[in-house]
Amino acid sequence: MSRIGKKPVAVPAGVTAQVNGQTVTAKGPKGELKFVVNDEVLVKMENGAISVEPRDQTKTSRSRWGMSRTMISNILSGVKDGFEKKLEISGVGYRAAMQGKNVQLSLGFSHEAIYQTPDGITIATPKPTEIVINGIDKQQVGQVAAEIREYRGPEPYKGKGVRYAGERIVRKEGKKK
């Protein structure tokens, strides 16, 4: 039994949610999101909460049960509050700056790396060594953060590169004489 899937998702105040067949739609102050639930999972709206349960007891339907509930919870909290990811840049001369809607990254290459911001995402650079990514879709916010980190991930010897805020880098010992 899924411990996560058993709990119904309460619809927060200020958010309207609709269940139409297998499609869950949420509208809130930040925007509107939809999620199409897999056919092996049954979705119901009752008493201001959305409940999810598997149609049968097969392994695939039970495995999609908890994931569907989490996705519905994410779209409800996304249209109400939104999601945020922070990236930190460390290294001499490494910095980020906004160039219109795009992010210009100086990461030790012979050229500047330019990241084009997708629709539905806002990126800010409060400091040259910090990038803040905001949006209503949790998956898209995480994907954008991963794509920016991919330009130059943190290396294990000096820790230089782009990393998530609070990420711990396992350091290696350098060469010995």
What's the pLDDT at 76?
Answer: 93
**Which amino acid, residue 38?**
N
CATH topology of domain 3-80: Outer Surface Protein A; domain 3 (3.90.930)
**Tally of helices (H runs) and strands (E runs) in the chain:** 3, 13
Residues in the chain where the model's pLDDT stays below 50: none
Query: Distance between CA 54 and CA 18 in Å, rounded?
Result: 19
Question: What is the value of pTM for the model shown?
Answer: 0.88
CATH topology of domain 83-164: Outer Surface Protein A; domain 3 (3.90.930)
Give the residue extent of every domain in the chain.
3-80, 83-164
What's the pLDDT at 1?
Answer: 55
